[in-house]
């Protein structure tokens, strides 16, 4: 373990038709460092002129912008910004590569505040660095309705914020995904004479992030993959909400990270050891084959005479008296929200410097486009998110003459077709690729020494897999990651799936073994409540396709929906290719696949999803033999159906027809929305059982015979 020396404790974007350049202002990405052959190995920018007092003034400006914002809001977490202000200042002012006037410049360095409760540190730094997204008025509106300075960093609210953080450990795992994306794209597109993907990912995490299991899963993968451009700062302040971490967290974190394959550094004086922080970052950047964890020992609430180093400064405003005492202690004799002129002058250089960095990169891109046309076209697609022409024509099509097959197998055909057609399509499974059927057959494995490949081996790490995939998706608009496990294990991934929905990351969650139909593995592996629970989540598409055409349709929808994730629930058992299904129908969420009625007045409507749609269709055929007019509806995605016009919804579910039956191998909760008060829901309102799939379906009433009997009872 390397240890830093302990200090005493006391431009304009170039334009061009068909060029990548006009496409660089998309969604939040990362701030990058450009290789121009003369990057210094020390701090990247000139250190502030003058005596140490000037540095303290710069750092105290950060501290008191945070203190004043929390105080005005009467809510927030001042402790971390006060303790991490020296680290934040050195990182942002001297090392981080970014353009404040274009927060979405592709090759920027990415900064993630995994300890998102300390977001006033990030907001203060964005404001000082010249980002238009965080004005002084925005700081004063911290945590207020409609402000773009919410209580935790949110990428969809604040340009300059890369990912949405708050649930501890998730942001750190996102950072692993961002670093993976950089390493993958660099391996694919950099040339000996032109490095166009060359940036670092920096992340600050706290004791809480360290304790959450997701961070350990992500750290294990980062070490295995050798993500040398990932630099993590561990804010070691020994305080959590319940008090000293001594009551619950006493492990040697550096030893653990060394065992996980990380390079480690300890800055013992993070309060005033500016030279130590600089030296640690310099050392970390020099390590190319491993990620680096820099443990920075700080004092939470530094400067507060009565609350520093206590849990009371973690999540509450200091209070008027303590603010005054802190100002006196740190010789800060200014009104709230004051930024001294010399501080403004110092930070102002980032505007010109950022423009120059981007302009320099733009020149390299122009040269790259001339020399490497094919690679430039692929990179353009990834940077812009523009899908290649005709990509959707690659998806397979099916007829009833095609053999029955499990939708997990049909899914693999779609995955491999999309990987050929879309340059930014990549992903993997949680040690289940041969069962999920998620291998991209034309590519090898993304590994430390083969980062250009597109099969990601996550191992048995569902928690990290989801969060890492979010980071990949948020790196560039044209990166489309998928990740896979058994549907029941979405419970392991729920935090990541929820954040994916919240921050609008286009991740495709491929979930197989979607029901009691998986059979003998029993109730621990048989999902029953997961369908409804994910339908209850905002801004997500829960798709359960019934056959090949619906599976292709589900993937088409998942790719097209750029601002929300999709979950595909896929069968283990073989299903028939049905006559009336279609890719176009899936886009509407619910649609009619067969109907022998006229005038939009069937005697009964049978509704199914996934593997049960086949059961419903067979039951309809039998009922029609008895003279009934029966409409069969595939309700493959509730969310998409609800987005259709009222006229369309009435054409599928006419209000006059109250005889309705839903059939789905999941809980019946929620189906009343579509079957109404007089309808019947056939489902599974209990846990499953260990038995062959056919036996379980029969015992639980998911049969053609039960559907017919239920229909006759209405």
Q: Architecture of domain 70-353 in CATH?
A: 3-Layer(aba) Sandwich (3.40)
CA distance 100 to 31: 10
Residues belonging to the binding site are: 77, 117, 166-168, 207-208, 237, 239, 314, 408, 435, 489, 513, 521, 525, 572
Q: What is the pLDDT of residue 42?
A: 38
The DSSP secondary structure of 44-84, one letter per residue, reads SSPPPSS-HHHHHHHHHHHHHHHHHHHHHHT-S--HHHHHH
The pLDDT assigned to 40 comes to 33
Active-site option among 375, 462, 639, 664 = 462
CATH topology identical between 70-353 and 591-713: yes
Give the C-alpha separation, 659 to 714, whole Å: 6
pLDDT at 2: 38
Which of 453, 441, 456 lies closest to 409 in space, CA to CA?
Answer: 441
Answer yes or no: 462 catalytic. Answer: yes
Q: SS3 for 150-168, per residue?
A: CCCCCCCCCCCCCCCCCCC
Closest CA to 488 of 462, 455, 456, 458: 462
Q: Mean pLDDT in each 10-residue stretch from start to end of the chain (714 residues)? A: 33 34 40 29 46 86 98 97 98 98 98 98 98 98 97 97 97 98 98 97 98 98 98 96 94 98 98 97 98 98 97 95 98 97 96 98 97 97 97 97 97 98 98 97 98 98 98 98 98 98 97 96 96 98 98 98 97 97 98 97 98 98 97 98 98 98 98 97 97 96 98 96
Task: Give Cα 272 distance to the centre of its chain.
Answer: 35
Q: For residue 486, give every residue at least 6 positions away whose Cβ sits within 8 Å of its Cβ, in sequence order, or none.
A: 432, 435, 436, 511, 512, 513, 518, 525, 527
- The domain limits of the chain are 70-353, 391-569, 591-713
Task: Give the pLDDT score at 409.
Answer: 98
Which two structure tokens, joined as six digits, stand for 619?
């039951």
Q: What is the structure's pLDDT at 53?
A: 81
The CATH number given to 391-569 is: 3.40.50.970
The arrangement of strands across the sheet holding 480-486 comes to 445-446, 455-457, 425-429, 480-486, 508-512, 566-569, 541-543
Residue numbers belonging to the annotated binding site for Mg(2+): 207, 237, 239
pLDDT number for residue 36:
28
What is residue 571's predicted lDDT score, i.e. its pLDDT? 97
C-alpha R_g of the chain: 28
- Return the CATH number of the domain spanning residue range 591-713: 3.40.50.920
């Amino acid at each position: 373990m390397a240890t830093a020396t302990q200090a005493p404790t006391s431009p304009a974007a170039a334009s061009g038709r068909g060029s990548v350049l006009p496409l660089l202002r998309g969604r939040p990405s990362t701030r990058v460092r450009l290789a121009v052959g003369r990057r210094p190995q020390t701090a990247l920018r000139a250190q502030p002129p003058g005596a140490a007092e000037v540095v303290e003034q710069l750092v105290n400006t950060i501290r008191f912008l945070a203190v004043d914002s929390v105080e005005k809001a009467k809510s927030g977490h001042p402790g971390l910004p006060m303790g991490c202000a020296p680290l934040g200042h050195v990182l942002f002012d001297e090392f981080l590569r970014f353009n404040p006037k274009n927060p979405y410049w592709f090759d920027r360095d990415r900064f993630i505040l995994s300890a998102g409760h300390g977001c006033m540190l990030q907001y203060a730094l964005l404001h000082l660095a010249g980002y238009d997204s965080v004005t002084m008025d925005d700081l004063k509106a911290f945590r207020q309705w409609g402000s773009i300075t919410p209580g935790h960093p949110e990428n969809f609210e604040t340009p300059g914020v890369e990912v949405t953080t708050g649930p501890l450990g998730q942001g750190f795992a996102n950072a692993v995904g961002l670093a993976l994306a950089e390493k993958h794209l660099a391996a694919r597109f950099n040339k000996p004479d032109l490095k166009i993907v060359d940036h670092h990912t920096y992340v600050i995490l706290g004791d809480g992030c360290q304790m959450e299991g997701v961070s350990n899963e992500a750290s294990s993968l980062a070490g295995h993959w050798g993500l040398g451009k990932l630099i993590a700062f561990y804010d070691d302040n020994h305080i959590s909400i319940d008090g000293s971490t001594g009551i619950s967290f006493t492990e040697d974190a550096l030893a653990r990270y060394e065992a996980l394959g990380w390079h480690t550094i300890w800055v013992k004086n993070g309060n005033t050891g500016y030279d130590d922080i600089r030296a640690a970052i310099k050392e970390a950047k020099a390590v190319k084959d491993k990620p680096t964890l820099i443990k920075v020992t700080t004092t939470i609430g530094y400067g507060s005479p009565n609350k520093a180093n206590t849990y009371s400064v973690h999540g509450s405003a200091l209070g008027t008296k303590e603010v005054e005492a802190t100002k006196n202690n740190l010789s800060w004799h200014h009104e709230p929200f004051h930024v001294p002129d010399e501080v403004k002058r110092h930070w102002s250089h980032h505007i010109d410097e950022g423009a120059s960095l981007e302009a320099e990169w733009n020149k390299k891109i122009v040269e790259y486009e001339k020399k490497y046309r094919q690679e430039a076209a692929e990179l353009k697609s990834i940077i812009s998110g523009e899908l290649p022409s005709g990509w959707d024509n690659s998806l397979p099509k099916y007829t009833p003459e095609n053999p029955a097959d499990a939708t997990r197998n049909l899914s693999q055909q779609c995955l491999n077709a999309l990987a050929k057609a879309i340059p930014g399509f990549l992903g993997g499974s949680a040690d289940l690729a041969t069962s999920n059927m998620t291998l991209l057959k034309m590519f090898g494995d993304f590994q430390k020494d083969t980062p250009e490949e597109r099969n990601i081996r996550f191992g048995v790490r569902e928690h990290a897999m989801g969060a890492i995939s979010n980071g990949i998706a948020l790196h560039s608009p044209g990166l489309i990651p998928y990740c896979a496990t058994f549907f029941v294990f979405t419970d392991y991934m729920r935090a990541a799936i929820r954040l994916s929905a919240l921050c609008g990351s286009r991740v495709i969650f491929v979930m197989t073994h979607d029901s009691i139909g998986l059979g003998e593995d029993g109730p621990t592996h048989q999902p029953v409540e997961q369908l409804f629970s994910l339908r209850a989540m905002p801004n997500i598409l829960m798709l359960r396709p019934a056959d090949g055409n619906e599976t292709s349709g589900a993937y088409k929808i998942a790719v097209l929906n750029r601002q929300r994730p999709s979950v595909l629930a896929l069968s283990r058992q073989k299903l028939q290719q049905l006559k009336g299904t279609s890719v176009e129908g899936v886009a509407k969420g619910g649609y009619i696949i067969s109907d022998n009625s006229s005038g939009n007045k069937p005697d009964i409507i049978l509704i199914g999803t996934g593997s049960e749609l086949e059961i419903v269709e067979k039951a309809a055929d039998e009922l029609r033999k008895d003279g009934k007019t029966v409409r069969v509806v595939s309700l493959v995605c509730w969310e998409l159906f609800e987005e259709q016009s009222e006229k369309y919804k009435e054409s599928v579910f006419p209000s006059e027809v109250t005889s309705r039956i839903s059939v789905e191998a999941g809980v019946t909760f929620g189906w009343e929305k579509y079957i109404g008060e007089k309808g019947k829901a056939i489902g599974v309102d209990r846990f499953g059982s260990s038995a062959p799939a056919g036996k379980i379906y029969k015992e639980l009433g998911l049969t053609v015979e039960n559907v017919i009997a239920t229909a006759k009872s209405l």
